[in-house]
């Protein structure tokens, strides 16, 4: 018997790791494999529905395959009737214990990306975690982030709501607006919670946390996302979308969000790794002469006003701020790359001309190009569906797909779209050949060859049409040669008919004369 008054066959209990409202977690060794494990023991398992939900938690996690989701080893029941789960022991602590490991924006984004990868797998398996928060994100010794505690997870394919008496709806400080209002939820609720974690790590506090659960819930529902410090403004599009009040305005999948995070990290690599610089505290950003003046509150307030005031901004900084504002307006209006000289990308490029290391502008260029690319691909697909292959000019499938390739020459969807245009010309040409409309078939073949001069199918159809044209010409020539012969054989008959007609007329007149006499 150990000092914790608990025995689990096959395991040696070493210490208590933590206690919650419904369960206790112990550090133990699995005797058969001599490995450290964490054992979560559910108290009062006999209460209606609680044991079943505990088992469901284990089954949910066991069905997931991700290096960023905690691993389940075993689930069983003690002699007392209480259930337990034996799982991977993650010894690196949670987010709150690893702030030193998360000292730079890049470290934070890398961790958020790993949790998002875990959530992507969770969501792919039809599960919503519903309790994403710093204490449910653990670290292995190698620094890998691991998502844990699926105790209130919801199976989106199940009709039953796992939230019952005694089970939390989630942690209020990280709950989505719809969670706070007990409304139906989807996978975007986890994205919102992860956005709160990201924001808290960047600014040093959770801006939605109030004095009570009620005030916190109201803040999530009503309070807008706070403006980020100047050094984090390039992350505003990411955070604002994660923390949108309406689920439909958030990222609709973790993979979509991961793509944007990776884009930011990639841009940072190209710009020399600004995100790897430690996050400056408000005090550390001040010059030494201001720090010394903080002893006198009135003096420090005046100095701070001067330091952070508009007069501190240089002319270049003000121009950059203006250009970024203009770029954002064009983005909102959908003017990503056009009209020339008055579009979002052009304004972002003007910023980069003034400050080549401006991540906000660099990311803006990429975002503007991506949005325009997506628009061209969508327009191309719609034009193709309507049969607008190369007409009308400037509003046809080929035009849109070629415009997409101007942005991304290797874009697979654009190349596939052009291939579909060619295939449609082939289909139309074959249909005309079947109907013996060779003129129409020639039009479609020539149109296809204008796009792909070396296309073997189109070249083969062109050869086939040439042969059919030659055959038709030969038939016409033969018909022309036969026509004069027919005319010659018909002439004597026509002559004899004429003679008979004259004789008949003479006889008729003779008879009329005799009758008259």
Same domain as 79, residue 99: no
Coil/strand/helix, residue 29: strand
Last residue of a domain, one of 56, 73, 88: 88
Active site residue 131: yes
Domain assignment of residue 295, yes or no: no
Domain assignment of residue 473, yes or no: no
Same domain as 79, residue 95: no
Same domain as 144, residue 207: yes
- Pick the catalytic residue from 82, 94, 107, 131: 131
Q: Are 131 and 152 in contact (CB under 8 A)?
A: yes
Same domain as 376, residue 344: yes
Same domain as 189, residue 78: no
Overall number of domains in the chain: 3
Domain assignment of residue 517, yes or no: no
Same domain as 47, residue 35: yes
Same domain as 244, residue 135: yes
The tens place of each residue's pLDDT in the chain, 517 residues long, gives: 455 678 899 999 999 887 766 778 899 999 999 999 999 888 766 665 667 777 877 787 888 889 999 998 998 888 888 889 899 999 888 998 988 889 899 999 999 999 999 999 999 988 899 999 999 999 999 999 999 887 555 554 443 433 333 333 468 899 999 998 888 999 999 999 999 999 999 988 899 998 888 889 889 999 999 888 888 888 999 999 999 999 999 999 999 999 999 999 988 887 766 676 665 544 343 334 333 444 444 444 444 444 444 344 567 888 888 898 899 899 888 999 999 889 999 999 998 888 877 877 888 888 899 999 999 999 999 999 999 999 999 999 999 999 999 999 999 999 999 999 999 999 999 999 999 898 899 999 999 999 999 999 999 999 999 998 888 888 888 888 877 666 555 555 554 555 566 666 666 665 666 555 5
Burial of 209 (0-12, 13-18, 19+ CB in 10 A): middle
Last residue of a domain, one of 237, 254, 279: 279
Burial of 148 (0-12, 13-18, 19+ CB in 10 A): buried
Token pair of 327 as six digits: 């770029």
Return all residues near 340 (Cβ < 8 A) that are at least 6 apart.
346
Reduced 3-state DSSP string for 415-450:
HHHHHHHHHHHHHHHHHHHHCCCHHHHHHHHHHHHH
d(CA 27, CA 17): 6
Is 493 labelled a binding residue?
no
Q: What is the pLDDT of residue 18?
A: 77
Domain assignment of residue 371, yes or no: yes
Q: What's the domain range around 273? A: 91-279
Q: What is the pTM of this model?
A: 0.58
* Local structure of residue 232 (DSSP, 8 states): G
Nearest to 192 by CA among 246, 141, 150: 246
Same domain as 236, residue 158: yes
Q: Residue 47 belongs to a domain with what CATH number?
A: 3.30.200.20
């Amino acid at each position: 018997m150990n000092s914790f008054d608990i025995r689990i066959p096959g395991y040696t209990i070493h210490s208590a790791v933590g206690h919650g409202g419904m369960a206790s977690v112990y550090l133990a060794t699995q005797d058969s494999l001599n490995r450290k494990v964490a054992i979560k023991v559910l108290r009062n398992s006999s209460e209606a529905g609680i044991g079943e939900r505990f088992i469901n938690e284990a089954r949910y996690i066991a069905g997931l395959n991700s290096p960023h989701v905690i691993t389940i080893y075993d689930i069983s029941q003690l002699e007392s009737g209480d259930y337990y789960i034996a799982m991977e022991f993650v010894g690196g602590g949670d987010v709150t214990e690893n702030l030193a490991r998360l000292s730079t924006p890049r470290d934070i984004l890398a961790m958020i990306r790993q949790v998002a990868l875990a959530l992507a797998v969770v969501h792919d398996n039809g599960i919503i975690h519903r309790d994403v928060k710093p204490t449910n994100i653990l670290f292995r010794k190698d620094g890998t982030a691991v998502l844990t505690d699926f105790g209130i997870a919801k199976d989106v394919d199940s009709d039953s709501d796992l939230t019952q008496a005694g089970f939390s709806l989630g942690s209020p400080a990280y709950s989505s607006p719809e969670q706070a209002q007990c409304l139906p939820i989807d996978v975007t609720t986890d994205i919102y919670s992860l956005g709160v974690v990201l924001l808290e790590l960047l600014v040093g506090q959770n801006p939605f946390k109030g004095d009570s659960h009620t005030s916190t819930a109201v803040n999530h529902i009503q309070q807008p996302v706070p403006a980020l410090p100047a050094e984090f403004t390039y992350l505003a599009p990411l955070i604002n979308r994660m923390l949108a009040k309406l689920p439909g305005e958030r990222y609709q999948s973790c993979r979509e969000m991961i793509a944007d995070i990776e884009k930011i990290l990639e841009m940072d690599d190209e710009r020399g790794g600004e995100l790897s610089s430690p996050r400056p505290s408000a005090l550390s950003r001040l010059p030494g002469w201001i720090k010394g003046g903080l002893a006198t509150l009135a003096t420090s307030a005046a100095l701070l006003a001067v330091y952070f005031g508009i007069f501190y901004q240089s002319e270049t900084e003000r121009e950059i701020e203006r250009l970024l504002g203009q770029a954002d307006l064009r983005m909102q209006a959908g003017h990503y790359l056009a009209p020339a000289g008055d579009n979002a990308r052009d304004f972002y490029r003007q910023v980069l001309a003034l400050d080549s290391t401006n991540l906000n502008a660099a990311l803006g260029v990429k975002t503007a190009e991506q949005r325009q690319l997506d628009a061209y691909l969508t327009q191309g697909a719609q034009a193709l569906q309507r049969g607008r292959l190369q007409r009308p000019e400037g509003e046809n499938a080929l035009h849109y797909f070629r415009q997409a390739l101007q942005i991304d020459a290797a874009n697979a969807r654009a190349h596939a779209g052009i291939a579909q245009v060619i295939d449609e010309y082939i289909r139309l040409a074959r249909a005309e050949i079947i109907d013996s409309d060779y003129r129409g078939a020639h039009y479609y073949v020539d149109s296809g060859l204008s796009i792909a001069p070396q296309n073997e199918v189109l070249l083969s159809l062109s050869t086939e049409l040439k042969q059919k044209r030659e055959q038709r010409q030969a038939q016409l020539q033969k018909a022309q040669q036969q026509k004069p012969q027919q005319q010659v054989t018909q002439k004597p008959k026509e002559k004899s008919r004429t003679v008979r007609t004259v004789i008949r007329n003479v006889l008729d007149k003779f008879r009329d004369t005799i009758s008259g006499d």
